[in-house]
Chain A
Amino acid sequence: MTCISAGIDVGSGAVKVAVMRSDRDGNETVIAKESARIRRREVAKVVDEVFEAATAAADQDEIHYIATTGEGSEFPQATGHFYGMTTHARGALYLAPAARAVLDVGALHTRAVAMDERGRVIDYKMTSQCASGSGQFLENIARYLGVSHDEIGALSIEATKPEKVSSICAVLAETDVINMVSRGITTQDILRGVHESMADRFVRLLRSLQFDGPAFVSGGLASDVGLLGALRDGLAKKAAAGTGTIEVVTHGDAIFAGAIGAALCGGFRYRKLGQASVAWDAAGAAVASPAAGVR
């Protein structure tokens, strides 16, 4: 039985949708993926838009299961909702089968999840109720420097003398940056400094978990080579101190990890329900069903 499922991942910064085909033999393919930044628009509208674009691109007669994750529990057409932790783990495993941990760097929160070889969540840690070191924080700083989103990484790796950001607060760090500019510090060195202070937090987050394998970076910042570099350097420094090493991996579609994971979880649940021949027609029944044993 082949299942077409869609995963909708609503983050605080962007909406991501993936449409996947999966069957009982474990063949899983992404057939469409779309994303859009929310900016200051109404979330529900952005979700509708992205979902429409993705399903149009997928061009399927029927979508058997629509799974939401993240903050997207309100989507009316959804069949079911999965926790962000679960979907990111599942999506990460799809994109990088060797991964045993996910570092999901979002606009406001960062979380680290340790998982087993089947993508089951073993443990997790999240950043606290303060936006210090978040994606939004980096974006604010880049905006002040007049650097566009996709230039950040390339500039950061050109740094020669990284300047540490001393302020803890994400909002006041902007002022720190103004200070740095006035002291003649280059954009490259400032961005690298911001990356390093973010990486410090992520290293602590990752090292607080027990897992055996590479850590997969997901979320919008996974494509930021500057952040990845700073993270690898931060982990290497710890490894040099003799405390074990953690390999960092990612994927071009890492921003879709949550959406892909949700689609896969949805597809799995759909087939499971089909096997158990559970009669269901409403989202509520499917979610409440004991057969829905997907983690």
Chain B
Amino acid sequence: MSCVVGIDLGSTTTKAVILDENREVLGRGITNSRSNYDLAAAVAKTEAFINARFGLIEQQLGTTKTVAMVSRLRRAFVMEQILQQLRRLEQLMIEETDRSAPAQLKAPLKTAIEEICKRITHEEEQRFKQPPMLRSDFFRDAAGSAFMRIAEQIAEPTGASFDRLVGIYDKCIIRVENEPLDLDFRDHIGDALRRVGNPEGLVEAVEYAVAKDLAPSYTVGTGYGRARLPFPKEQIRSEILCHGLGAHAMFPGTRTVLDIGGQDTKAIQVDQQGIVTNFQMNDRCAAGCGRYLGYIADEMNLGLHELGPLAEQSTRCVKINSTCTVFAGAELRERLGLGEKREDILAGLHRAIVIRAMSLLARSGGVDDEFTFTGGVAKNPAAVRAIRDLIKENYGERTLNISPDSIYTGALGAALFASRIAA
């Protein structure tokens, strides 16, 4: 089957979308961005093809009962990927300890590292047995939070210093992310299948999906890091164009698009064909971008996806005085110290980022019907609520479109450009 690929290399995440000949989405993949851009793009693409092959399995089976079976297989697959990366991380951390730790600390540090990795492995296996819970898709987040938590518990008793453990982890997680590992469909689907007990019917469907030939005929890249993708110039489109087109494809009635990405915010006006007529962009300051919330999440030792739901529990929105992201982080700690509620401060922080976006929208020409909200922040319920309220206050009733796949808008636009060229 011939297909085209769009890749959106963002500052925080890299996304890939695969379209078939009829411009229907075959698969979507996402990974966290890292200093090795080629690798980030390759991983996102691999993930998209894995997603496409799981789609094929579902298609092959096709009943509600098997959907649950496939999703279990999918989780087993993800766990195999995580365990493989964890084994590599452990190996690198042991090597790093041998290389750089003072002689008397080598043994306790290595004991601690082995114990931490053993416990993370165990936690992952337990997690698989329980009903699925929301968490970040990325190894860095899954491993990082578990590592810090366990390291804090066992650093003292084993005589390994917590700071040193964190230092070693920081060095090695970067290496794991920047070397190519075997994480493809074929590499782990066998193990995943065995883990779910080789159920009847599923094995055949997997064999079908493995054998299916998916050959991309054309790839277009976009996003903040597009200039560094290993593509010729004609295979690169600006993120503004891709977001406009992607949003138009998802919601053909779209006239205004707001994209709050990792490190920039874009307000885009498009016409009936999805062609950009005007836009405004902020990429000089993290306040008002997704990174703002990412920074706050780090400050609070929370996962990014936990912020919105927590802020939703607020009963009294606190007004945040700082504009700068780093200062807002300090203000947050100060307010927590003064006994203000976490959820109220978070509600204030969400409102602050949306207010920044509103001024960008105003400068780009306002908010027309229909309004489409894209980017990672559109997944955040508190940000969505804030934007709904503020648009109503300033522009009146507007249809607000948010796709569950809104994070892939740019990649979808890029894939559509690719299909136009391929056609």
Contact residues of A with B, CB < 8 Å?
12, 40, 42-44, 108, 129-131, 134, 136-137, 143-144, 146, 148, 167-172, 175, 178-179, 181-183
Contacts and interface: CB of A to CB of B under 8 A. Distances in A.
Contacts of B409: none
B263 A172 contact: yes
Interface in B209-238: 224-225, 228
A168 B283 CA distance: 10
Contact of B327 (A44, A131, A146, A181): A131
Contacts of B105: none
Contacts of A175: 11, 224, 263, 291
A209 to B, nearest CB: 24
A277 B301 CA distance: 52
Interface in B328-346: 330, 333, 337
B34 A170 contact: no
Contact-size category for B: 35 or more
A129 B287 CA distance: 12
Nearest to A44: B337
A74 B295 CA distance: 27
A182 B323 CA distance: 30
Given A12-B330, A108-B327, A131-B327, A172 B322 contact: no
B325 interface: yes
Interface in B1-56: 11, 33-37
A144 to B, nearest CB: 8
Nearest to A71: B334
A25 to B, nearest CB: 41
A181 B337 CA distance: 37
A175 B228 CA distance: 14
A146 B170 contact: yes
A148 B166 CA distance: 10
A171 B329 CA distance: 11
10 contacts: A108-B330, A130-B327, A131-B327, A146-B170, A148-B163, A169-B284, A169-B325, A170-B286, A182-B37, A182-B228
Contacts of B170: 143, 146
Given A168-B285, A171-B291, A172-B285, A129 B323 contact: yes
B323 A181 contact: no
Contacts of B11: 175, 178
B324 interface: yes
A172 B286 CA distance: 6
Given A42-B337, A178-B11, 18 more contacts: A40-B333, A44-B337, A108-B327, A108-B330, A129-B322, A129-B323, A131-B324, A131-B325, A131-B327, A146-B170, A168-B284, A170-B324, A171-B291, A171-B295, A172-B263, A172-B284, A175-B291, A182-B35
Given A131-B325, A172-B286, A148 B35 contact: no
A131 B326 contact: yes
Contacts of B330: 12, 108
B160 to A, nearest CB: 15
Nearest to B40: A182
Contacts of B286: 169-172
B309 to A, nearest CB: 21
Interface string B255-285: 0000000010000000000000000000111
A141 B295 CA distance: 13
Contacts of A12: 330
Given A175-B263, A178-B34, A170 B325 contact: yes
B326 A136 contact: yes
Given A129-B324, A131-B324, A134-B326, A178 B174 contact: no
Given A40-B299, A146-B170, A171 B36 contact: no
B292 interface: yes
B284 A182 contact: no
B171 interface: yes
Among A167, A175, A178, the one with the most B-chain Cβ atoms within 10 Å of its Cβ is A175
A167 B337 CA distance: 32
B167 interface: yes
Contacts of A130: 285, 323-324, 327
B326 A172 contact: no
A43 B333 CA distance: 9
Contacts of B322: 129
A171 B326 CA distance: 7
A171 B337 contact: no
A170 to B, nearest CB: 5
Contacts of B333: 40, 43
A169 B295 CA distance: 13
Contact of B301 (A40, A108, A146, A167): A40
Candidate in B167, B171, B324, B326 with the most chain A CB atoms within 10 angstroms: B326
